[in-house]
Structure 1
């Protein structure tokens, strides 16, 4: 059973007491709204118990990361990239890129994430933006042909680099947005764009993490 806004917020507060969710329009794509962590989230000293809960339950889905914003804007301004295609958003987080792909005219969008709360957040954000998505918690269990895989900000851990090859083996086109890897040399991926953005709510990240690059394979 899917969760409503209040239930998802209760799950969030069980991990990070005092946190709350708020509907926000994205600065770069104001036609797209997301349910995200309010900017007044707890930022003081956290107890060791709370810190451990956050580490055990990473809250990637409560932020719209810079790479996600850039990729969403790119798809909305270049809808021909996904129009009439079956698209899989890997590591969907808040669902920003999956929602943008659907708004851009993709035939079907599969939001994929191993975190059940990320999938629930994506469901709510899809409803908020009036689009329909499909959902998967296992990349390898997705059946049928995929025309394009879209990925934002999953290369923060070098252990995730193995997915670059898996993506090109699964789909003829792969579109990646990343702000973490500065010397990206992974053929057949090639850089096609570069834009600046920031995470929402703003984490006051250094300039290097606001520098987002887009890579395409296929």
Structure 2
């Protein structure tokens, strides 16, 4: 694994990911960056990027077609750190990472000893990013673009997917695919669901750091009862 990270600095960003990014944010690039307190590296937007070029049209495109995979969001980072610290949660199990984004949680689950890990995301570019990030870290993942095509799994993980009120129904849908569901979230206040209980809380920042409000750095972990 060390050899992989020794070569990160010299790695060249995958062209198809660059093309997808630059359709939204022109002239922006990607860098392979190691995440805090993990051995994981991801292709992410640089910590400093040319905000002076973000005219109204670019900002509109960012809001309309947000490339979520160019950041490692706080909840995803917190869940990845937690999995690496608590590998028994996924060791030798079949795991599904819902709303995989950059694939950070899936990569962490595989590093923690999961037998199989499935990245599930409706966005084809996110799944492409998951593939490239898996290659960057030397792990093997599986890929799925429709939760309803998923098999029964031992553990379902979901980090930072409840930011939109419209997504809350997934808390019930997850139960159709696994009896063990872990949800990490920093956005929902007064979380309440009869099938989930709060188990833990960790602090993490989105990477690269977006200088988000302190409240969004407190990540809560919920598990099925």
TM class by shorter chain equals: over 0.9
Which of 86, 104, 119 is residue 78 of structure 1 equivalent to? 86
User: How far is the alpha carbon of 1:45 from its aligned partner?
Assistant: 6.0
Unaligned runs of 5+ in 2: 1-12
Which of 185, 195, 203 is residue 196 of structure 1 equivalent to? 203
TM-superposition CA deviations, 1:49-89 (whole Å, max 9, x none): 32232233211100000000100011011111011111110
Counting matched residue pairs gives 213
Match of 2:5 in 1: none
Match of 2:163 in 1: 156
State the 4+ residue runs in structure 1 displaced beyond 4 angstroms: none
Partner SS for 1:131 = coil
User: Is residue 47 of structure 2 the alignment partner of residue 47 of structure 1?
Assistant: no
TM-superposition CA deviations, 1:138-176 (whole Å, max 9, x none): 11012x321111000011111111000011122110011
Q: Please provide the CA RMSD for this pair.
A: 1.3
User: Is residue 219 of structure 2 the alignment partner of residue 215 of structure 1?
Assistant: no
TM-superposition CA deviations, 1:154-201 (whole Å, max 9, x none): 111111110000111221100111000121111221111111110001
Does structure 2 conserve the Cα–Cα contact (< 8 Å) formed by 1:33 and 1:128? yes
Does structure 2 conserve the Cα–Cα contact (< 8 Å) formed by 1:28 and 1:69? no
User: What is the alpha-carbon distance in structure 1 between the residues aligned to residue 36 and residue 159 of structure 2?
Assistant: 18
Match of 1:27 in 2: 36
User: How far is the alpha carbon of 1:46 from its aligned partner?
Assistant: 2.5
Match of 1:12 in 2: 21
> Which aligned pairs between 1:3-152 and structure 2 lie closer than 5 A?
5-29=14-38, 31-44=39-52, 46-142=54-150, 144-152=151-159
Does structure 1 conserve the Cα–Cα contact (< 8 Å) formed by 2:84 and 2:109? yes
Does structure 1 conserve the Cα–Cα contact (< 8 Å) formed by 2:186 and 2:216? yes
Unaligned runs of 5+ in 1: none
TM-score by length of structure 2 reads 0.91
User: What is the alpha-carbon distance in structure 1 between the residues aligned to residue 189 and residue 60 of structure 2?
Assistant: 30
Does structure 2 conserve the Cα–Cα contact (< 8 Å) formed by 1:177 and 1:212? yes
Moved more, 182-191 or 39-48: 39-48
